[in-house]
């Protein structure tokens, strides 16, 4: 495994630990230069979205990773944590349905992820 896929896996596991909904990983490495992976998930509400984001940040900081950018936290409808090679998108379901990120990147390979619990 590469460092990029290890980082992606840490993000996936941390999001799963907080019961992120409908988690999908897209390998966008060959589609864009901005990242290797998009991790996309949903939260039930603002508090759940904040909890997922905070838990991911906490777990990754313990491993020496800090996000380059953190966007949307205050509003809580679409939070982005940018870890360079992996970008985590945490949506409220309404925004996920509206923006349809998975459809926008439909030609990207889906990475199968196992539930960790």
Q: Please say whether the beta carbons of 3 and 103 come within 8 A.
A: no
pLDDT of residue 92: 96
The pTM of the full predicted model, rounded to 2 decimals, is 0.93
User: Domain coordinates of the chain in residue numbers?
Assistant: 3-97
Q: Which CATH entry fits the domain spanning 3-97: 3.40.190.10, 3.30.70.270, 3.20.10.10, 3.30.460.10?
A: 3.30.460.10
pLDDT of residue 1: 63
* 106 contact partners, CB below 8 Å, separation of at least 6: none
Give the ranges where 18-105 is alpha helix by DSSP (H).
46-62, 93-99, 101-104
Mean pLDDT of 58-76: 95
Q: In what order do the strands lie in the sheet with 78-82?
A: 69-71, 78-82, 86-92, 37-43, 21-27, 109-111
Both structure tokens of 22: 């409908």
pLDDT digits 0-9 by tens, 4-52? 889 999 999 999 999 999 999 999 999 999 999 999 999 999 999 999 9
């Amino acid at each position: 495994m590469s460092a990029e896929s290890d980082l992606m896996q840490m993000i996936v596991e941390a999001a799963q630990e907080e019961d992120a909904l409908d988690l999908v990983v897209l390998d966008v490495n060959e589609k864009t230069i901005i990242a290797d992976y998009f991790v996309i998930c949903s939260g039930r509400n603002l508090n759940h979205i904040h909890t997922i984001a905070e838990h991911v940040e906490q777990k990754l900081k313990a491993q020496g990773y800090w996000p380059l950018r953190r966007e949307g936290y205050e509003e809580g409808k679409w939070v982005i944590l940018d870890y360079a090679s992996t970008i985590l998108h945490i949506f409220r379901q309404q925004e996920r349905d509206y923006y349809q990120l998975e459809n926008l990147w439909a030609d990207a390979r889906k990475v199968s992820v196992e539930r960790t619990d």
